[in-house]
Amino acid sequence: MKQNDNGKWNLDDLVKNPSKQIFDKKIKEIKKDAVKFEKQKKTLNQSISSSKFLKMLHQIEKISEKSSHIGGYASLKYSEDTQSDEATALLTKISQFGSTIQNQILFFDLWWKKQVDEKNAKRLMKSAGELSDYLRYKRLMSKYSLTEPEERIINTLDVTGVSALVKLYDKITNAFTYTIKIGNKKKLWVEKS
């Protein structure tokens, strides 16, 4: 029987030459950006200027984009081989890191959803250009938002709760093998993703 080979992802566009040092450098860079962003918390108020508000939105975009690159890499690397302890450890590390960063900048999201009055929200959305729909959506979802401590708990549990169970399920079920008959030939199919 022939074993089907699923191949490998080309992840160079996300992280070139991945190594512990590269990931540590990227993590350090994101942490630095988040700390810089967090220092602006005291400047948030109803009358924040449109330019200051947009600057903060773009900082969040930058943090999210950088986090998505390493998170995407870790997720795809894990999907490539769910039996790999190295890929599992990387995904867990990056997921926990993402949760920490998300908790660190959460204040801005909750401020926008719950503390900005309608008049100022409209003023800020008007100047937000392509981000106005995103901001409008955030405001619509405000009724489902909890307090900051509660949201932090949820972010943390997302990593250690359901996601951990899904990873365990993947590890078990993706090790299954199947014999498939195509025409007169039999193929051994090994789940790898």
Per-residue pLDDT tens for 52-68? 999 999 999 999 999 99
pLDDT of residue 168: 77
CB-CB contact of 131 with 102 (8 Å) = no
CB-CB contact of 48 with 124 (8 Å) = yes
pLDDT of residue 3: 43
pLDDT of residue 20: 80
**What domains can you pick out in the chain, each with its CATH number?**
10-190 (1.20.140.70)
Phi, psi values for residue 84, rounded to 5°:
-75, 120
Answer yes or no: is pLDDT of 69 > 60. yes
pLDDT of residue 1: 35
172: confidence class by pLDDT, cuts 50, 70, 90: confident
